[in-house]
Amino acid sequence: MIKRFSYFILVLLAKQAAFCQSIDKIINAQEVERIERTLSSDDMRGRKIFTPDIDRAAAFIAAEFKKAGIQPVKENSYLQEFAMVRTTPVSASGKLNGKTLAEKDIAVISAKEELSVNQASGYKQVVIHARDTFPVMLGRLQHTDGNYLLVVDTAHRQLFERIRRGGRSQFSPKGNIVLVLTNEEAGEYAIQYKQTVAVMPLKNVVGILPGRSKKEEYVIFSGHYDHLGVGQANAAGDSIYNGANDDAAGITAVIMLANYFAKQKNNERTLIFAAFTAEESGGFGSTYFSQQFNPDQVMAMFNIEMIGTESKWGTNSAFITGYEKTDMGKILEKNLKGTGFTFYPDPYPSQQLFYRSDNATLARLGVPAHTISTSKMDSEKYYHTQEDEIETLDMKNMAAIIKAIAISSTSIVAGKDTPTRVARESLKR
Ligand SMILES: [Zn+2]
């Protein structure tokens, strides 16, 4: 009995040693540095959206996915392309109940360059009273993709003015919403409107590793590859916001995990590796991504943000945002038992980190979606500065954290554990 037991232990130890060697061959500090150095180089000029700089980063990530041997998201491309629009008003005029409307009291949300609308156009009339929550009602109407005439109480002048000025990037509106700022009831009306519409292309980079048996169940590993671009020079004359930690570090992890799981060839669930665009400017990338499939099929999302520095507990440890919202954290902890790695609940709850990255987009759809990070959010010196460069990061610890993420996901990737869903109603908007 004892003999057999010790034999069993020996086999187990040998197995574990072999596993450690094999994972270290794929996930190690040299590989971290190779990818991190490329993504955070001055040549990428801070990877700002709507610039050719971020396109170079996208091309690099796509090439890495290809090299890893994972499948492209679309035919032969790893690029998930979409477009935002930015509208600027040119002219607005019209009448309401026989009275001429002032130009500043007309606003339009539409992707059309010209719009001419009157009571015969079939637009549904909705009144926004002084007591109504204007943005919530507007959001709901936009969601329906219908055509509306909104009669907005002058109490909402401020938000109305912001909408009227346009100039923000937005998903192309499918319906047309004409807004009139007035305290009159809408009767007869006729409104003419002109605007310019700029189409602004964006892209996520996405690769897929189909599951062996549970193909319809997805596990997502993600980060964001956009950053802040080029700004004012600091005292040292550096104007490039390299975003080495934010979030070239997360993308480095995503690429290395793609490579790791592709080599393991044992994932029962389908793994999706996503590098999101436009996280820093409204989460448009993850929003578009989340609309391309049924969120009920996503069993878990590991979003990875800023893992380049030591956590407040030192090396080999990280934290999980929104820990209490699902039991995913407990599953990860269980898988990490005895490995020397520790994941903790987010120690900075007042910073609302759960809502400040791309995981929130998926969590709002019920997905157990958390961000894993090591960032000391109360004291991270180089956060959103020109000094967020590779020299401030710890390659060895980063490799350790990426390894920990891989190991922590084992039972989920294998289809053995399924985290509880996020209660959507409990989340902030
Ligand atoms: Zn970030």
> Taking ligand 1, which is a single-atom ion, which protein residues have CB atoms under 5 Å away?
246-247, 305
Mean pLDDT over 100-107 rounds to 96
The pLDDT of residue 22: 85
280 C-alpha vs ligand 1 centroid, how far in Å? Answer: 7
Contacts of 209 (CB under 8 A, 6+ apart): 70, 71, 258, 261, 262, 267, 270, 271, 272, 273
Alpha helices in 51-183 (DSSP H): 52-68, 134-143, 157-165
Q: What's the maximum distance between 2 C-alpha atoms anywhere in the chain?
A: 98
Any idea what the Cα angle at residue 53 is, between residues 48 and 54, rounded to 5°? Answer: 55
DSSP one-letter code for 248: I
**Cβ burial 104-140 (10 Å sphere, 16+ → b, else e):** ebbbbbbbeeebebeeeeebeebebeeebebeebbee
pTM over 0.85? The answer is yes
**If residue 151 lies in a helix (H) or strand (E), which one and from where to where?**
strand 148-152
Report the alpha-carbon distance of residue 217 to residue 366 in Å, rounded.
15
The pLDDT of residue 31: 98
pLDDT tens string 242-252 = 999 999 999 99
Please report, rounded to a whole number, the percentage of residues in the chain having pLDDT higher than 90. 89
Mean pLDDT over 406-428 rounds to 95
- Nearest residue to 125 via CA among 148, 158, 91, 92: 148
279 C-alpha vs ligand 1 centroid, how far in Å? Answer: 7
- Nearest residue to 390 via CA among 320, 325, 308, 316: 308
Residue 153, exposed/middle/buried by CB under 10 A (0-12, 13-18, 19+)?
middle
157 C-alpha vs ligand 1 centroid, how far in Å? Answer: 34
429 C-alpha vs ligand 1 centroid, how far in Å? Answer: 19
Q: At what angle do helices 328-336 and 395-408 cross, to 10 degrees?
A: 110
The pLDDT of residue 185: 86
The pLDDT of residue 11: 59
153 C-alpha vs ligand 1 centroid, how far in Å? Answer: 38
373 C-alpha vs ligand 1 centroid, how far in Å? Answer: 10
Could you tell me the end-to-end alpha-carbon distance of the chain, in angstroms, rounded to an integer?
60
Alpha helices in 265-367 (DSSP H): 284-290, 328-336, 359-363
On the question of pLDDT at 90 being above 50, the answer is: yes
95 C-alpha vs ligand 1 centroid, how far in Å? Answer: 47
46 C-alpha vs ligand 1 centroid, how far in Å? Answer: 12
User: What average pLDDT does the chain have?
Assistant: 94
Instruction: Lowest mean pLDDT of 17-31, 136-150, 340-354, name the range.
Output: 17-31
Reduce the DSSP state of residue 2 to 3 states and report it.
helix
Residue 398: band (very low, low, confident or very high) from pLDDT cuts 50, 70, 90: very high
249 C-alpha vs ligand 1 centroid, how far in Å? Answer: 9
On the question of pLDDT at 10 being above 80, the answer is: no
224 C-alpha vs ligand 1 centroid, how far in Å? Answer: 7
358 C-alpha vs ligand 1 centroid, how far in Å? Answer: 9
375 C-alpha vs ligand 1 centroid, how far in Å? Answer: 10
227 C-alpha vs ligand 1 centroid, how far in Å? Answer: 8
